[in-house]
Amino acid sequence: MRALTAGILGLFCLTILAGCTRSGDRRENEPRLPGDLMIVFGEGGGITGLWQGYSIQPDGAVLRWEGHAAEQDPQRVGTLDDATRAALWAEIQAHGLLEGQAGEQGDLTRFIRLTAEDQTHKVAWVPGRRAGGGRGSWESLYRLLTETATGKSSPHATPGETGD
């Protein structure tokens, strides 16, 4: 009888242990942040031909740039932590950027270029014209990216941190 009780107790303990997960394990429904995630977004063109915008690097560094081409003369303006970048990744997916079309260019053009998992996706549009898919317009995603890069919408952003 003791052997049976010990066996049942042992089986019970194994069942409990098998159902437990470590607190550091990622939840299944949590999106995985790509290690090479890079987001470049900005606007430009017009009479001056100048472009301005931001780049969010794979390490979370936020660079502000301005010049006659995207990403010209970058200056580090802050850092985003993994939680903030994961939230942006989820928004990018919800907005359908991965399925988006290249779009149109005009006198003034806005764009978002995303590199993730060795693939690059780019959308461009004329501000004020409806463009986008998924949850909302490219314009609303652009606004979210800008507010996050400048530290105006995310508690996870740390503008001004240089990491040096």
Quick one: pLDDT at residue 155?
36
DSSP H or E stretch at residue 115: strand 108-116
DSSP H helices in 20-154: 82-94, 138-149
Q: pLDDT tens across 84-122, in order?
A: 999 999 999 888 887 766 677 778 899 999 999 999 989
**Higher-confidence position of 137 and 48:** 48
**Higher-confidence position of 39 and 138:** 39
83 within domain boundaries: yes
In contact, 157 and 151? CB cutoff 8 Å: yes
116 within domain boundaries: yes
9 within domain boundaries: no
Quick one: pLDDT at residue 110?
92
23 within domain boundaries: no
Tally of domains in the chain:
1
As a whole number of angstroms, the distance between CA 35 and CA 132 comes to: 25
Quick one: pLDDT at residue 130?
63
115 within domain boundaries: yes
66 within domain boundaries: yes
How far apart, in Å, are the Cα atoms of 51 and each of 55, 58, 144? 13, 22, 19
45 within domain boundaries: yes
> By CB neighbour count within 10 A (0-12 exposed, 13-18 middle, 19+ buried), where does 64 fall?
middle
Quick one: pLDDT at residue 54?
97
90 within domain boundaries: yes
pTM of this prediction? 0.72
Quick one: pLDDT at residue 94?
87
- Domain assignment of residue 126, given as a range: 38-159
How far apart, in Å, are the Cα atoms of 163 and each of 64, 76, 79, 160? 16, 10, 8, 9
Mean pLDDT rounded to a whole number for the chain: 77
146: domain CATH number? 3.30.1560
* Positive/negative CA dihedral, 83, 87, 88, 92: positive
